[in-house]
Amino acid sequence: MIYKKKLFPRKEPAVTTQVYIVYFGEHSGQKALHEIEDYHHSYLLSVKASEEEARDSLLYSYKHSINGFAAVLSPHEVTKLSEMDEVVSVFPSQRKKHTLHTTRSWEFVGLEKELGREQLKKQKKTRNLLEKARYGDQIIVGMVDNGVWPESKSFSDEGMGPIPKSWKGICQTGVAFNSSHCNRKLIGARYYLKGYESDNGPLNTTTDYRSPRDKDGHGTHTASTVAGRRVHNVSALGYAPGTASGGAPLARLAIYKVCWPIPGQTKVKGNTCYEEDMLAAIDDAIADGVHVLSISIGTSQPFTYAKDGIAIGALHATKNNIVVACSAGNSGPAPSTLSNPAPWIITVGASSIDRAFVTPLVLGNGMKLMGQSVTPYKLKKKMYPLVFAADAVVPGVPKNNTAANCNFGSLDPKKVKGKIVLCLRGGMTLRIEKGIEVKRAGGVGFILGNTPENGFDLPADPHLLPATAVSSEDVTKIRNYIKSTKKPMATIIPGRTVLHAKPAPFMASFISRGPNTIDPNILKPDITGPGLNILAAWSEGSSPTRSELDPRVVKYNIFSGTSMSCPHVAAAVALLKAIHPNWSSAAIRSALMTTAGLVNNIGKPITDSSGNPTNPFQYGSGHFRPTKAADPGLVYDTTYTDYLLYLCNIGVKSLDSSFKCPKVSPSSNNLNYPSLQISKLKRKVTVTRTATNVGSARSIYFSSVKSPVGFSVRVEPSILYFNHVGQKKSFDITVEARNPKASKKNDTEYAFGWYTWNDGIHNVRSPMAVSLA
């Protein structure tokens, strides 16, 4: 999901007002809940004309971990509140417009495998990760999303034990949702509308349920990816048949619905999520007792930590040792586009798995091109006339770059009827809508052509007519063929599911990527996971395309985005939490990052879909490997105080009012992070890291370095000796420019490398990114 700044602040006569969040930091724990709300009300009363106006303006009073409130304020009132001593910050709520950023994915990452006889013998000695973690039982994962379809078999509680005693949450009732919809799997559910309705008026209940129920599909998909039960014999419109399962199938789910339809837009355009609603959800989740938060929501442009509601909420969660995983976003392939860059958040990119939905296109000259689709519709076994969309538009449509985009109303039925139409991605319509336009104009089939920016990323969409998606390279071949003959012909062969596709994984072209624009000395994203063409449960209140023109209802659907990869990592976190209940959130993040993989299933470095080299600004530390992460050997631990000192150093007023910044604080490079980024190095810098032994009691680790091109890297000491579990050892990393005066192509040019610790069993690897001043 992606969100953007609120574009249309509400207006009152002569005074412009909008929702602001007034943030005080952390609660002292000395006030009762009603006293906290009275305390917040007193601040509003000091700037409002009357008590009634103060009460009416208050949307949320954050009473649990987060200390603050959300209220409708004028600029003058904001100024007065900002000047008050106990107020840490006052910032406008950002309007969050998001684009929705698994039968196979868990097997692909090594969590579930079909074991041969020798492997079974070996597994008797060493239980696999799922068994060690008791399949995530007793771990509670909070899903901050757009609800859930509780009737899905993925959320059955059959055979599950009692609800964890640590759970303190509720099952909030609403339209088409009551207490019976919660069970020992879905142990809680809430919804948050005050911010949304303050900006848009009452919810249009024809577009969504006024309850935790999901009428879109996104929230159900992400929740089942994390912790869906094992459901046999499922598929999406006949594709990807098999057993669907979440990564932690016995973990418990708590649903926090914060995202709602965009007023005046079709459901396929996505949802919108308001910051004040999300902060209320995170505050409740902390008090409810969740162990993990999965948040597939992000900005199209990140904000500083002091004005970023997700970052503030996640910091409070981290203080309570809750691990927060967030999607990096789908705004690629441009650099510096990622969201959720706070170092206390696990920021997740998206990559492929080894499954394809091959739907060949055969041209009249015999050429066969391998496209992808999950449409169930089929053409007759014959050739059909083929036309390029730009050659089949109605009179008046400009013959420019958008003519081939199949925008609504652009195609001429006289030129399209009975033909297969090649449309290009982009323009005013989404992928599904292009096929709908072809069908409206009488086309019998549809080819979705990638642009060069999309490369070889082939979305497997459930189109409403026979269709296939092809690469930009294949688009060129098709167009050349059309130009070469007076009667171009083609046919689309019905698709099929293919496993063990190679190479895999590859990085999706749509992912948002680094470098980090909020702090260029923190490398983001942290890691990548499966996010391309992922099958999971779906809302039966929606259609597989989410289009109002699509009458189909499905129980499972295939979807893509960092929204899909984030819950994969959240599931791995849940398993690690179960195995290592005393590990900090930072230790769990470190274990995932330092054990991530860098090679694909043909033994070569991970590339993008076009085969081009990739780097840590796309995949972070690499593709996550949950089984490796359970035994990382060493971890880089970080405390809540370390994060506050880090904020002091980068000039952010402390987000905890009880903490006072020292006169001198450690540089942001010295935050004990499992990766290293150095921006604009002048000559030489030395940073410190501290490794904690979580492997064998007595162990010796040797360092090795792959220096970024143009730099030398030295690690001292080069050997670390440990004699007990939990022992900490610090080391220095000195990075020096070989030629500080070397010319650069641009100010954002980075070189990449690695430093690694190895004891013969564990390989603890950290990525580096360095640029010259």
* Positions marked catalytic: 145, 218, 563
Beta bridge partners of 640: none
Give CA 550 to chain center in angstroms: 27
Kind of pairing between the strands at 445-449 and 420-424:
parallel
Query: Do the Cβ atoms of 509 and 457 come closer than 8 Å?
Result: yes
The DSSP annotation for 628-669 comes to HHTS-SEE----HHHHHHHHHHTTPPPSSTT----SS---GG
Closest CA to 77 of 20, 14, 12: 20
Which helix (H) or strand (E) element contains residue 32?
Answer: none
C-alpha 531/C-alpha 198 separation (Å) is: 34
Residues near 557 by beta carbon (within 8 Å), at least 6 away in sequence: 217, 221, 236, 462, 535, 536, 537, 538, 544
C-alpha 343/C-alpha 340 separation (Å) is: 9
In Å, how far are 183, 734, 735, 747 from 739, measured between CA atoms?
Answer: 63, 15, 12, 16
**Three-state SS across 457-480?**
CCCCCCCCCCEEEECHHHHHHHHH
Kind of pairing between the strands at 763-772 and 676-681:
parallel
* Structure tokens that stand for 754 in this block: 């690695």
In Å, how far are 78, 247, 382, 591, 712 from 418, measured between CA atoms?
Answer: 61, 45, 12, 56, 64
Residue 75: how many CB atoms within 10 A of its CB? 13
Which helix (H) or strand (E) element contains residue 755?
Answer: strand 751-758
Closest CA to 575 of 631, 621, 533: 631
Alpha helices in 584-625 (DSSP H): 585-594, 616-619
Residues near 467 by beta carbon (within 8 Å), at least 6 away in sequence: 359, 373, 375, 377, 435, 445, 446, 447, 448, 461, 492
* Structure tokens that stand for 79 in this block: 């100024």
- Taken in order 66, 67, 73, 79, is the CA torsion positive or negative? negative
Which residue's structure tokens are 């990323």? 457
Which residue's structure tokens are 């269709």? 467
C-alpha 384/C-alpha 362 separation (Å) is: 10
Query: Do the Cβ atoms of 572 and 471 come closer than 8 Å?
Result: no
